[in-house]
């Protein structure tokens, strides 16, 4: 089991580049439960899995600047309990030669998920999986650490319009921003990308097959195009639905809820990310910082102009818009409902409106 790293030990583990400029690395590993284990997502009753369409993955991105190393860990899951988040941060930190508080954890909001977010009875059958999951994340971090090299970081934003809706009805405002961070070698080869979009990954129906839904397809397409290891953060999506799936609509599109419906949104999203990444200026002279408020369940990571805000509770689309408004000169990457809260059957998910976006912006060193 990986352990926490003391500050003195961490300094002994790695030596920053002599120039103090950015270095980066990335790694990934499969985290798909065995076929036969129950799928326990937020929408459908728990049921045994019958096959695998595409492996669920964990991806780890490492950044080192001015002697400080921080990590981003993205898992293709609905969410993670705070206790499991801590175990994952500890394992990633141990392999990445940094400290657990310097690890920013996010999920993709995948509705085809093991019960990593709940204390449900199904969790008992997952005891070994839940114990092993942090070690797999640590393994991906070890890959990232071994691949560290001089790097440039660039950020950009794009819009993906008309593909999501507010849950309350036709014309309800969603959040259509796509935030993109791209990391390349000095020679321009892709090391990693990170992107966020506010839409729950709940397109796929309950056909019993493991899949990462549209974020996984978008990441795969971008990786095939040379983007390096490509990770996703779920955005601010508590009152957002895919396509035209607003409440009361009896003429919804894509209701077959199969692989083609997943790929349609995933490909559109990957296209926008690719366009945004093609218009980026890269910098090596950046700093890396991270702060957290465990009581409020908020974690903020800044690397250069990239600001990653993670929130344990669900948040509406307006939360993302307010944060970006508070930090107009930063590229704000938002990940909400990291803890995977869900509504009881037939009820609406309770949305947390108490977080102060200006306070979060100040903690991030608003720009």
Q: What is the pLDDT of residues 184-236, one digit of tens each?
A: 998 899 999 999 999 999 999 999 999 999 999 999 999 999 999 999 999 99
pTM for the model? 0.90
Q: Residues 323-348: what's their mean pLDDT?
A: 80
Q: Residues 106-114: what's their mean pLDDT?
A: 96
User: Quick one: CA dihedral 130, 135, 141, 143, positive or negative?
Assistant: negative
Q: What is the pLDDT of residue 8?
A: 29
Residue 165 contacts residue 245 (beta carbons within 8 Å):
yes
Is the pLDDT at 266 greater than 60? The verdict is yes
Domain limits of the chain? 7-363
Q: What is the pLDDT of residue 51?
A: 97
Q: Would you give the DSSP letter of residue 336?
A: -
Residue 297: pLDDT band by 50, 70, 90 thresholds? Answer: confident
Residue 16: pLDDT band by 50, 70, 90 thresholds? Answer: very low
Report d(CA 300, CA 98) in Å as an integer: 17
Is the pLDDT at 155 greater than 80? The verdict is yes
Q: What is the pLDDT of residue 9?
A: 30
- Measured in whole angstroms, the distance separating CA 140 from the mean position of its chain's CA atoms is 15
CB atoms within 10 A of CB 248: 8
- CB environment 257-285: b (16+ within 10 A), e (fewer): bebebbbbbbeebbebbbebbeebebebe
Q: What are phi and psi of 133, to 5 degrees?
A: -55, -45
- Helix H or strand E encompassing 326: helix 317-326
Mean pLDDT of the chain: 88
Report d(CA 211, CA 28) in Å as an integer: 16
Residue 367: pLDDT band by 50, 70, 90 thresholds? Answer: low
Is the pLDDT at 83 greater than 80? The verdict is yes
Residue 42 contacts residue 314 (beta carbons within 8 Å):
no
Report d(CA 316, CA 353) in Å as an integer: 8
């Amino acid at each position: 089991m990986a352990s926490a790293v003391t500050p003195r030990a961490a300094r002994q583990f790695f030596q920053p580049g002599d120039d103090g400029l950015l270095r980066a690395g990335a790694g990934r590993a499969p985290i798909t439960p065995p076929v036969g284990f129950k799928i326990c997502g937020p929408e459908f009753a728990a049921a045994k899995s019958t096959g695998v369409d595409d492996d669920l993955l964990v991806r780890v991105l490492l950044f080192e600047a001015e002697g400080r190393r921080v990590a981003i860990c993205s898992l293709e899951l609905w969410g993670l309990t705070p206790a499991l988040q801590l175990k994952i941060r500890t394992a990633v930190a141990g392999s990445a030669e940094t400290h657990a508080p310097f690890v920013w954890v996010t999920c993709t909001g995948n509705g085809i998920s093991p019960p990593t977010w709940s204390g449900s009875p199904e969790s008992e059958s997952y005891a070994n999986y839940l114990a092993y999951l942090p070690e797999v994340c640590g393994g991906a971090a070890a890959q990232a650490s071994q691949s560290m090299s001089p790097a440039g970081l660039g950020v950009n934003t794009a819009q993906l319009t008309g593909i999501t809706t507010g849950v309350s009805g036709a014309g309800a405002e969603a959040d259509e921003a796509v935030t993109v961070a791209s990391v390349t070698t000095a020679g321009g080869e892709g090391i990693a990308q990170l992107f966020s979009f506010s839409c729950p990954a709940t397109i796929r129906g309950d056909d019993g097959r493991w899949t990462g839904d549209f974020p996984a397809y978008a990441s795969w397409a971008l990786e095939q195009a040379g983007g390096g290891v490509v990770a996703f953060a779920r955005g601010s999506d508590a009152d957002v639905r895919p396509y035209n799936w607003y409440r009361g609509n009896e003429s919804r599109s894509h209701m077959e809820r199969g692989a083609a419906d997943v790929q349609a949104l995933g490909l559109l999203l990957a296209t926008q990310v690719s366009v945004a990444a093609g218009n980026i200026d890269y910098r090596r002279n950046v700093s890396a910082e991270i702060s957290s408020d465990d009581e409020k369940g908020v974690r903020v990571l800044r690397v250069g102009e990239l600001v990653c805000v993670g929130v344990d509770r669900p948040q509406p689309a307006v939360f993302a818009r307010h944060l970006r408004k508070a930090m107009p000169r930063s590229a704000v990457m938002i990940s909400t409902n990291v803890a995977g809260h869900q509504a009881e059957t037939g009820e609406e998910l309770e949305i947390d409106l108490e977080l102060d976006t200006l306070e979060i912006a100040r903690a991030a060193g608003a720009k």
